[in-house]
């Protein structure tokens, strides 16, 4: 077990040293400005489409809720069951 731990620590130290030697080049540094701009624009479009889809889903759910409430407001049995029976307040 001890030998395994030592080899694992050596391997992890070798990995970090190889990253330092490569100059830690990031993807942003490697890609050209044109490609990077296209990717950013595509990300914005995806976010906007997702926000629009969520807004549409919220709007549809709100319309369904309003339609259900309108249907219940026309139902006398529902109104009678959910009304307060304390009529002394309204005299």
Residue by residue, pLDDT tens for the chain (91 residues) are 555 565 555 565 555 555 555 567 888 788 888 888 999 999 999 999 999 999 999 999 999 999 999 999 899 888 888 887 777 777 6
pTM reported for the whole predicted model: 0.52
Q: How far is CA 37 from CA 9, 24, 27, 34, 66, in A?
A: 40, 22, 13, 5, 43
């Amino acid at each position: 077990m001890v030998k395994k731990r030592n080899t694992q620590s050596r391997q992890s130290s070798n990995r970090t040293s190889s990253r330092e030697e490569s100059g830690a080049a990031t993807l942003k540094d490697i890609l050209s400005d044109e490609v990077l701009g296209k990717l950013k624009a595509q990300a914005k479009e995806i976010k906007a489409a997702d926000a629009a889809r969520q807004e549409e889903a919220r709007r549809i759910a709100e319309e369904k809720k309003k339609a259900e409430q309108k249907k219940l407001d026309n139902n006398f049995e529902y109104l009678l069951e959910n009304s307060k029976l304390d009529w002394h307040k309204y005299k």
